[in-house]
Structure 1
Amino acid sequence: MISVKNIIKKYGSKEVLKNLSVDFPDGKTTVILGPSGSGKSTLLRSLDLLVRPESGTLSFGDLKLDYAQPVSKKLSFDVRKKTSMVFQNWNLFPNLTVLQNITTAPETVLGKSKEETEAKAKKLLSQVGLAEYADRYPSQLSGGQQQRISICRALAMDPEYILLDEPTSALDPELENQVLLILEDLSKMGQAMIIVTHNMEFARSVADKIVFVEDGDILFDGTPDQFFNHSTTRIKDFLSGITFNDDAK
């Protein structure tokens, strides 16, 4: 389990995370929801140290760190080895083939052999319906295909958790659905994921747990049924606003 306690993050005088505490269970999908600017992405990125809060603690199995104290390179490496981040804009290496994009990190970071990494990469590509694209370059792929490759790249590191920051926000609805189906399959297989998303239907279908963040505070931490069917007035207002915006598109 990943657990953060009493984390505070500031940008200048603005407190983005306000003494926030939350747990992310093993083998489950946790979806982080909330309005724009609420601190969702900051919370997610603090889990693999892309963002460093000013204070608070992170516990990840037998790994523990205090954000207020210097973090050694070894501890940082050990934390990041347990997670893989998937960003909004996939961030593939344009000069590498699809296969190379997936195999480079396991070979250089984990020390795996080329034969092992290529075999796993081809298996992952087959699982996401892109087996024939191994020798192509990112510029030859659609946005949806590139995002599926970035998910393969994350899985190739054998992470305990995959962290996804609005993974479909740059995609049109058809391509978005392709990616969401892959994530839904991963969730069913018990791959632990923590996902920041704007897609409420996806959140409803895939989440084991929902965390609602607003103004740096957690206003809800519970099940999808509680969130969507037995929620507070504030969450009902949020959901009705999302629905209205979606219908207006």
Structure 2
Amino acid sequence: MLQLAHINKIYGKRKALNDINIQFPDHETTVIVGPSGSGKSTLLRSLNLLERPESGLYSFDQQTIDFSQPIAEKEVLQLRRKTGMVFQSFNLFPHLTVLKNVTEAPIHVLHQDKATAEKTARQLLQQVGLDQKANQYPMELSGGQQQRVAIARALAMQPEYMFFDEPTSALDPELEAEVLRVLLNLAKQHNSMIVVTHNMEFAKGVADQIVFLEEGQILFCGSPQEFFSEPTQRIHDFLSAMSFTS
């Protein structure tokens, strides 16, 4: 389980994260929502240490990081090897085939032999519906296909938790649906996932836990049923602005 206690992140005079206290249960999907600039991506990136809060404790299994103290590179690598991150942009290697994009890190970081890495990669590509694209290059794929390759690449590292930062924000609705179907299947398999999204229909269908952030503070943490069926006035206004009706 991941747990944050009294996390604070400051940009200039603005508190991007303000005394964040939360648990992210394993084998469940937590969806983080909120208005633009609320701190959603900052929170997610802090879990992968791409952002470093000024204070607070971050616990992951038996490892605890105190952000008020220097963090050793060994600790950073230890934590990152337990997590997989999928960004808004696909960040694939353009000069490598789809198959090599997925096998590169397992071979060079996990030290898997080539045959094992390729076998796993092909299984993952089949899982995301791209087994026929293994020998193509990223530029030959649609945006939705590239994002699905990015998901397969992250899964190839066998992470304990998967983080998704607005993984469909750069896609049109049809391509977005392709990626959301993959995420829904991963959730059904009880993978441990934390997803930042703007898609409320998806959030309602996939989340075990919903977190609503505003101005760096958690205003809600609970079940999708309560979030959508019994919203506070602020959440009701947010859902109305997102054109979502329960």
Asked if residue 21 in structure 1 is aligned to residue 21 in structure 2, the reply is: yes
Structure 1 length-normalised TM: 0.97
Cα deviation, 1:185-211, whole Å, max 9, x if unaligned, reads: 000001111000000000000000000
Q: Which amino acid aligns with 1:72?
A: A
Aligned partner of residue 85 in structure 1, secondary structure: strand
Match of 2:193 in 1: 193
Give the Cα–Cα distance (whole angstroms) in 1 for the partners of residues 98 and 193 of structure 2.
Answer: 23
Q: Secondary structure at the match of 1:168?
A: coil
Deviation readout 1:218-238 (Å, 9 max, x if unpaired): 000000000000110000000
Cα separation, 2, equivalents of 1:101 and 1:71: 30
CA–CA distance in structure 1, aligned partners of residues 65 and 113 of structure 2: 31
Aligned to 2:181: 181
- Say if 2:83 is the partner of 1:77: no
Extract unaligned runs of 5+ from structure 1: none
TM-score normalised to structure 2 length = 0.98
Question: Deviation at 1:11?
Answer: 1.0
Query: Structure 1 CA distance, aligned partners of 2:159 and 2:183?
Result: 15
More off after superposition, 205-214 vs 10-19: 10-19
Amino acid at match of 1:224: P
Give the aligned partner of residue 31 of structure 1: 31
Aligned residue number for residue 118 of structure 1: 118
1:118 corresponds to which letter in structure 2?
A: E
Residue-pair matches, total: 245
Q: Which residue of 2 aligns with 1:160?
A: 160
1-structure distance, mates of 2:193, 2:132:
27
Specify the SS of the correspondent of 1:243: coil
Q: Report the Cα offset of residue 50 of structure 1.
A: 0.4
Question: Which one-letter code corresponds to 2:4 in the other structure?
Answer: V
5 Å-filtered alignment, 1:29-178, equals 29-178=29-178
**What is the alpha-carbon distance in structure 1 between the residues aligned to residue 177 and residue 67 of structure 2?**
37
Deviation at 1:18, TM superposition (A): 0.7
Q: How big is the shift at 1:57?
A: 0.7
Tell me, what secondary structure is at the counterpart of 1:99? Answer: helix
Query: How far is the alpha carbon of 1:155 from its aligned partner?
Result: 0.5
Deviation at 1:132, TM superposition (A): 1.2
Q: For 1:29-85, what per-residue CA distance to the aligned partner results, in whole angstroms no more than 9, with x for missing partners?
A: 000000000000000000010000000010000111101111111111111011010
User: Is 1:11 aligned to 2:27, yes or no?
Assistant: no
3-state secondary structure, aligned to 1:50:
coil
**Deviating more after overlay: 66-75 vs 219-228:** 66-75
Matched position secondary structure for 1:3: strand
User: Which SS does the other structure have where 2:167 is aligned?
Assistant: coil
Provide the residue aligned with 1:212 in structure 2: 212
Q: Distance in 1 between matches of 2:52 and 2:13?
A: 16
2:221 aligns with 221
Counterpart AA for 1:55: S
Q: Deviations over 1:119-164 (max 9, x none)?
A: 0000111111111111111001000000000000010010111100
- Structure 2 unaligned residues grouped into runs of 5+: none
Counterpart amino acid of residue 123 in structure 2 = K
Deviations 1:79-125 (A, max 9, x none): 10110100001111111110111011111111111111100000111
